[in-house]
């Protein structure tokens, strides 16, 4: 590739694995998390500007097909040699070269795309959402997941969040226990919180269609407002039947990874809502493509999380701020689930919402001491 005079290029990529302890055990249908592992990507440019990105998944390989270790390998061995020396002024050109030679690996691609956008935003003096077409909202409502598995503890945690005015919508992770126990757990929490809070549930693909058909009505009776991914991600026909059968909104999460799968779900009328995640879609630009498909099909959008730290969560916030429609809110609580992070200033939620950053790039600065302390060399 012929470079123009003084054209800024990519000099290096550095993928760093960090392990952060969580504030409590976080129980999902497929794993119980006591810490969260992030892959922090540092992209250095020939003009001295550095962009940062993050790739994060849940529970190693318990949740999906990509792990932190495989993501670092993809970035170090396969992606870096493709793009070092390329101009940085076109994020699309860099990502197109990667897409041509690297199949899958959406998490690694998301970290790269985020870092490129962060660097370009810093270079131009604008926030990332300005590079995505501009924000249509200045703050994002954020729910909190109650996932200790203990009803009393979850109720106390929710009460604390309400008192702090941090969260007034709560997601309950179910599917690990007998469905009757899960329904009783949900009903107890809703009874305690009453109309002061709304509840959603995430089954994390744990039920069969028959089990979902029996217990979704009981969750409705308990006061739940939304059911997330009740059956396996590849059982789109079951999702379609459940969506058609029940009035309560059914949300697809693991079933919709990108714009192509969003199209398939839309064609089969297999969800009322789609959970958007930059890690699934390969980056902030990928999320906007997925959201556009959902919007065109009349499917609602929700800002999801892979429990990213501050970098991944704020990158998601920029993308979600630029989505035309996001009527179901977000769950960008990942930075609050970990005891510490690798940025100087961690995101804060006030009056139930996360302010959309306005500083150049992502608006974050790495804390070098914490990065060194939590990094895992492997």
Per-residue pLDDT of the chain in tens (378 residues, 90 and over written 9) = 556 668 999 999 999 999 999 988 776 656 677 789 999 999 999 999 999 999 998 877 777 789 999 999 999 999 999 999 999 999 999 999 999 999 999 999 999 999 999 999 999 999 999 999 999 999 999 999 998 888 999 999 999 999 999 999 999 999 989 999 999 999 999 999 999 999 999 999 999 999 999 999 999 999 999 999 999 999 999 999 999 999 999 999 999 999 999 999 999 999 999 999 999 999 999 999 999 999 999 999 999 999 999 999 999 999 999 999 999 999 999 999 999 999 999 999 999 999 999 999 999 999 999 999 999 987
Integer angstrom CA distances of residue 207 from 210, 230, 305: 8, 6, 21
Residue 42 C-alpha from the chain's centroid: 20
Helical ranges in the chain per DSSP H: 68-73, 80-83, 91-101, 106-124, 128-131, 151-164, 179-193, 209-222, 236-245, 259-267, 278-281, 284-297, 310-322, 334-337, 368-374
- Residue intervals of the chain classified under CATH 3.20.20.120 are 131-355
Closest CA to 286 of 325, 322, 310: 322
Closest CA to 204 of 252, 166, 264, 259: 252
What positions carry a catalytic annotation?
173, 331
- Residue intervals of the chain classified under CATH 3.30.390.10 are 10-126+368-376
Number of other residues whose CB lies within 10 A of the CB of residue 60: 15
Distance CA 254, CA 242 (A): 16
What is the reported pLDDT for 6? 80
- CB-count burial class (<10 Å; 0-12, 13-18, 19+) for 70: middle
3-state helix, strand, coil in the chain (%, to 5): 40, 25, 35
Instruction: Mention every residue, 6+ apart, whose C-beta is less than 8 A from residue 250.
Output: 226, 227, 230, 239, 242, 243, 271, 272, 273
What is the reported pLDDT for 24? 81
Would you call 278 helix, strand, or coil by DSSP? Answer: helix
**CATH assignment of 131-355?**
3.20.20.120
The residue with tokens 């370009």 is 120
What is the reported pLDDT for 3? 62
What is the reported pLDDT for 377? 85
Whole-model pTM: value is 0.94
Integer angstrom CA distances of residue 246 from 166, 227, 372: 31, 10, 50
Number of other residues whose CB lies within 10 A of the CB of residue 103: 6
CATH superfamily membership of 10-126+368-376? Enolase-like, N-terminal domain (3.30.390.10)
């Amino acid at each position: 590739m012929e470079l123009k005079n003084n054209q800024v290029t990519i000099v290096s990529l550095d993928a760093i694995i960090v392990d952060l302890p969580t504030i409590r055990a976080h129980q999902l249908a497929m794993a119980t998390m006591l810490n969260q592992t992030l892959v922090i990507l540092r992209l250095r440019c020939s003009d001295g500007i550095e962009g940062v990105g993050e790739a994060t998944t849940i529970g190693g390989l318990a949740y999906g097909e990509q792990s932190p270790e495989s993501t670092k390998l993809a970035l170090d061995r396969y992606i870096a040699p493709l793009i070092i020396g390329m101009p940085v002024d076109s994020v699309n050109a860099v990502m197109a070269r990667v897409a041509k030679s690297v199949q899958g690996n959406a998490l690694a691609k998301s970290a790269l795309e985020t870092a490129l956008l962060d660097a370009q935003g810093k270079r131009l003096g604008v926030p990332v959402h300005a590079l995505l077409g501009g924000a249509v909202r200045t703050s994002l409502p954020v729910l909190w997941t109650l996932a200790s598995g203990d009803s009393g503890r979850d109720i106390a945690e929710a009460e604390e969040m309400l008192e702090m005015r941090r969260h007034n919508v709560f997601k309950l992770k179910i599917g690990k226990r007998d469905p009757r126990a899960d329904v009783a757990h949900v009903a107890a929490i809703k009874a305690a919180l009453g109309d002061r809070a709304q509840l959603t549930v995430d089954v994390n693909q744990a039920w069969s269609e028959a089990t979902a058909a029996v217990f979704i009505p009981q969750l409705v009776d308990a006061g739940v407002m939304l059911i997330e991914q009740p059956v396996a991600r590849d059982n789109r026909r079951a999702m379609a039947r459940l969506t058609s059968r029940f009035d309560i909104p059914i949300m697809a999460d693991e079933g919709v990874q990108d714009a192509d799968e969003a199209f398939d779900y839309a064609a089969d009328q297999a969800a009322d809502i789609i959970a958007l995640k930059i890690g699934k879609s390969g980056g902030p630009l990928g999320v906007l493509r997925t959201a556009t498909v959902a919007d065109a099909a009349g499917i609602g959008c929700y800002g999801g999380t892979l429990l990213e730290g501050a970098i991944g969560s704020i990158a998601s916030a920029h993308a979600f701020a630029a989505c035309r429609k996001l009527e179901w809110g977000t769950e960008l609580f990942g930075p609050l689930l970990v005891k510490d992070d690798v940025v100087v200033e961690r995101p804060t939620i006030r009056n139930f919402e996360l302010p959309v950053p306005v500083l150049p790039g992502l608006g974050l600065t790495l804390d070098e001491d914490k990065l060194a302390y939590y990094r895992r060399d492997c």
